[in-house]
Structures are given as C-alpha cells and as structure tokens.
Amino acid sequence: MRVFACGTCGRRLFFENSLCLACGSPQSFDPVEREVVVNDGSLPRCANVALIGCNWLADGPGRLCPSCALTAERPPADDTAAIEDLMGAEAAKRWLLFQLGELGLPVESAADREGGLEFRLLSSAYEHVTTGHASGVITLDLAEVDDAHREEIRAQMGEQYRTVLGHFRHEIGHYYWPIIVGGTELEDECRALFGDEREDYQAALQRHYEQGPRADWMDAHVSAYATMHPAEDWAETFAHLLHIRDSVQTAEAYDLRVAGATQPSVDAAPAAVLRSWLALMPALNGMARSLGLDDPYPFVLTQPVIEKLAFVDRAVREAAERATA
C-alpha cells in the first residue's frame, strides 16, 4: 500500500482515512486519480458513506462508488449486526480493488460483461453461506469478519493464516485464471507447474477432506489447502503473491530497509521482488516477536513454491501489459 498525504497540511494519511487527524480536513479516496483527496463536500461521496463508512468518491451524488457497486447482494440495512460485519468486509474489498489497480489488472463488473466480477457478502446467521467463487461471483460469509469465529475455523482447518483480505485474494485468483492464463501461451506452463485444473474437482475435494494433505506438502505448496486441487494451488499462490507484492510496496513506501538486502521495489522483476520479500520476512517476524505476537508470516518458501510465485507474478505483469496495450 502506498502512503498518502493530506492536501491541506501535508501530514501522512492512510488509505482508510476519511479525516486528517492533524488538521481536521475531511478526506475521500478518488478511485479515478487513485489518491486520497481533501473533500470539503463538493465532491460526491459514495452513497454507502453513512451505512458502512465508505470513504470512496462516486461519479455523482447519491451513487455508489466503484467498489460498493460491485456488491450485488448484502444484508438489509436494518440488520445492525450484519452491517457491522459488512463494514469490515467492504473495507477489505476496497483494499483488494486498490491493489488490483496498482498491479494493472483489469476489473470488469457483471454489468460490463457476462461472467464479470461481482460480490455476494452475506450473513450465515440466517442462511447457509459458502465462501467461494463461481463464474465471476465471489461469495463471502460475513462471519469471517468476526475475529473469534475466524480464529476458531483457522485452528480447526490447521491453517497458518486466515484473514478476510486473504479470502478475497484467494477467490479473485480463481476469477483471474481464465483471464490471464486460460487460452494464452502460459496455459501449458501453468499446468506443468500446478497440475491440470480440469481434474475432477469434487473428487479432489472429497479426497482432501477424507485423507488430508500429504505429509510433505510444504516441499512444493504454499499451504496445505493448495494440495487439494491444481485450481486451489493456483488460487493460494496467487493470493500469496498479492500478500507479497502489497507488503513490498508498503516497505518501499515507508523506506523500510534490511541490512545487506536489496532495496525492495514493487516494480522490479519477479525475482527481485521475491528476493526483497525473503529479506524482509525475518525482520517482519522478528518485530512481531518483540511485541509478544505470533509470526505474521508463518510460511517457508521452498524453491518449487518460489518458482510458482514467479510464474504467477509474470502472468500478472503480462496481463497488465495487455490491458494497457
């Protein structure tokens, strides 16, 4: 994430800011200019500003911003508990969409084309909700916003890492596979690395939950869940690349340096980004341990995993170049 500055006093702002805490100037994020800007009320705020505290601008009064407009289904406004969870989910979605823009990946809504992107953010308090992706539709169980619930599920599943933003990054990986890999010259190379995504998914799912991952899954996969099916290996690796690219950009924005390491650059070649991350990772974990916290990055990147990450990074860069062209 980039660092932003107040247009009134120049003090540092965060992506989520709707107010400069130094001078009190109201702020909004402009999705066209991709900057946090001073908003004295003359710029149209998202229609969801009162409901969920969205700080993005819309293209006209009373309209939704580009992020909120992608939400096709959500709880009713009078469901206060679900709306509180929706606030957290929408904040994570805005972060995701900002990063996709930084990477140059195209975002087309269901209104733009068949199979385009849309979100269903629903509460499982009243109905069964399965988090996942299908034909451009990303569904999230809003219970995932609750820290206690999410930690309970993480422990049950034996996962190293589980966040709302992580869910979105994983599911958007499924969305992008047919866009940036399927039907391109990268398809065969992808299958050689990850396996054939045409493998029977339901059979693989049943096998995974009956037998669990192989004991040596860490040798070639970024997570245990990545062993379930080649499509999940791709999505897990895609999500992990987004974790890395975002973290490296943040380090660059704050001028964080590690002794003996190359200065991180999110615009560098895939190998350079990964080298920067491998240098930053121990420092990040060490800082957390100094605060008495668990490692925020509890992963070991083996050479096969690094090769997969480099491939996904290359696919993302080439897709961004095609979108620009």
- Rounded Cα distance, 165 and 130, in Å: 16
CA-angle at 181, arms to 109 and 167, nearest 5°: 55
Question: Are 100 and 73 in contact, with CB atoms under 8 Å apart?
Answer: no
Q: What tokens were used for 135?
A: 């034909």
Cα–Cα distance for residue pair 232/283, rounded to 1 Å: 29
C-alpha dihedral (102, 108, 111, 117), degrees to nearest 10: -90
Give the lowest-confidence range in 68-72, 152-156, 255-259. 255-259
> What average pLDDT score do residues 319-325 get?
88
What pLDDT, in 10s, does the model give residues 3-27?
999 999 999 999 999 999 999 999 9
Residue 109, phi then psi, degrees to nearest 5: -80, 170
pTM for this model (two decimals): 0.93
Residue 312 pLDDT > 60, yes or no?
yes
DSSP string over 75-98: --TT-HHHHHHHHHHHHHHHHHHH
pLDDT, position 261: 56
Q: What's 14's DSSP letter?
A: -
> Mean pLDDT across the stretch 153-157?
83
Give the pLDDT confidence of 53-100 residue by residue, as tens digits: 999 999 999 999 999 999 999 999 999 999 999 999 999 999 999 999
Give the pLDDT mean for 169-189: 95
3-state SS class at 9: coil
Q: Which two tokens stand for residue 174?
A: 């499924």
Give 206-217 pLDDT, tens digit per residue.
998 889 888 899
